[in-house]
Chains A and B, each alone.
Chain A
Amino acid sequence: MAFVALAIPSNRYRPLLLPITAIAHTSMTVFALTRPDLLTTNEWLMLDPPGRIVLLLVSTLFLLCSFYTVGYLKIKVDRSNRAFTACLLSFIGVVSLVTWSHHLGLMWVAIEATTLVTAPLIYFNQNQRSIEATWKYLLIGSVGIALALLGTFFIAYASLHEGLESTLTFDDVLRIAPKLSKPWLHAGFILLLVGYGTKMGLAPMHTWKPDAYGEAPGVVGALLAGGVTSCAFLALLRFYHICHVAGDSDFTAKLLLFLGIFSMALAGVFMVGQRDFKRMLAYSSVEHMGILVLGLGIGGPALFGTMLHVITNGLTKGVLFLSAGNIHRSFGSKSTDQVRGALRRLPLSGTLFLAGFLAITGSPPFGPFISEFAILNGAFAADRFVVAGLFLFLLLVVFIGMGATVLHVVQGRAGPAENQVPYRDGFLTAAPALVCMLLVLMLGLYIPPPLRRLIEDAVLYLEAKP
């Protein structure tokens, strides 16, 4: 599809390819999830339960974002969107490859490819600040991913060292996991945690995140925060699974818990007094990646919440970034010094931004409340009271810090000094965020049985020891 996009000369009609591809992709995803028996699988490409969850999330998010993009590119008709559209289409391709790949090397290739196709997306606004953001994103991302490759090699060497046939097919590695050489497995896991952690944006490897999210168009921010980070988390999940089967849960739990708490704490510190609301969303993403690895670190009882949180976080980030993009466009600024009274000026986007904030900080009745509550419950069930206490405390800090900025943006009266484009919420730019918000609300009130079954499958899959 990306090649088709490159071939279409018209700037106006090219973006229409996005919804078409997205609808096709979503229907294929739904088909793949409902009739798994009809799919041809081999040992390299297979859709396992955690992969299914991420695929479903990314597909939904991309579908909504594709409609938004059509509206967005209509506003920016003066700029060629050839590269932008092509990169978005390749993005959905490589992300699906990540979720399907069952070979650790292939998965690495796909994740590195997500870095490469998203870099031009961040650069779409072509000014000095977005160059800087793209440069940092590319360099930090590539180096991090290079370390992940070294870690992958270490895992393969762990099997070679024990005289076993070296392999990187996920199922084979799982099968021989208990026999792997421990020092190499541990060293590999640390490198992978640093490598894919960089891609997820865990502190202290998060430094690219505020810059990239701050400068990228809102729709790209939504796809990065909801899609790319979830893929990196999926990669980490696979290696966590290997270590778990190898009987090393204690070792990985310590590392994951530490990084999780550290990310949440750092995000909390930077969020208090943050004046740029898009950068604030980036720190919120750091915080939620922290929550995900924390849930993984607690393990067992918290896994259900963690997998649910992948979905709820991804969707809520979609709402926040899309509505923040609208507010940014309307005010021509993303600093809280200039942006006030978004509720009056953009009633729909302003409301969605506020609701998205309430959802992401874990207020009932939205989806993240359920998933964060499940993780907290898991922490108590696993007798990790200190972790649970810190978790609650940091959530509170984030709520206060983020609340100050968000309320400042939405409340009050818009100043008269605005000389910006007269942007108003259009159907294409507001409706996707609204649908996304409704999905988040629905997940908070009621989890559909097929989804629940999907998550339970994933938890069983992760806990089983073959």
Chain B
Amino acid sequence: MSAAPHLVISGVSKRFGAATVLDRVDLTIRRGELVTLLGPSGCGKTTLLRAIAGLAPPDGGTIALAGRDVTHVPPHRRNVGVVFQSYALFPHLTVAGNVAFGLKVRGAPKAEIDRAVERALSLVKLGHLGSRRISALSGGQQQRVALARAIAVEPDVLLFDEALSALDRKLREEMQVELRRLLQEVKATAIFVTHDQDEALTMSDRVAVMNKGRIEQLAEPRELYARPASLFALNFVGLSTRIAGQVVGGSNGTVEVVTPVGRLSARGAFQPGASVIVATRPEQLRLGTGDGANSAAGRVRSVVFQGSRTLVDVDAGAGASLLAELSGREAELPRVHDEVRFAWPVAETFAFAAEAS
């Protein structure tokens, strides 16, 4: 992975009527990087992908791909590959015909087309199905053909628009791993659009969490999970315990917050009196009081066994609840209605400004 910027999006905006769908988005992607645009529907992630593909030119800002300003270049002269949610395979062509389409349009010589088609189909493990009709394929196979078709033209960037969402869960999880390996093998630069956090964490080198037409946080999956930059990012990726409170003091990047479950310390910088949400990840919670740690008590509301882990939901009173994830090796798991006390490290506790809503 070289450090040279490969795709540079700066200040890209898009409006549909009165609605701002993209609000001055900046994003720089390196060659060979796999980046996911993650967010709820309507956050602008698909619009951004379509802007990169040239299917929906932005109203403002610029997009540069492989050192060339492509902001106003039509899609057919951009050299991008798109895998659509519906796959958009051409029903009147065979599997090989679909994969060859891009090269044929570019007027490549027949021998070269045949080689590229064979290579692309063997990459997606469909080498034996070239002469099949599209309608004779399963959903998973169609997905692979769509991928082969996009790869065959050796695009500067591969774009995936919810490309795995039509597959059933088991197949989707297999494809995530296989796709990541395959993309790394051909050294592709790729952008995925998805609302599935597992897909984002599995597939990408970096994840851009999008909300209301903006990128809220751009980070590696591990960092995104451990250090969410906003309440939205915290909520969208992974589970968390969230308790509302008021800041009463603090220093050195740590604030003291009064909450219904007691006084808690959290990372963050707020003025006294500010309304904040104090949050932590479920696996940080441990049974007991802990030394110099945050802690809170309550009555167990539910215990959900999930194989390698067990989720414990605790009613901490005054509308607050704690969510703890305990590993299967825990000596003794609490039962419903038990009175328990949990503790968690201050370093893993975050304070976010409470949203007006």
The answer to whether A and B belong to the same complex is no
Residues of A within 8 A of B (CB): none
Residues of B within 8 A of A (CB): none
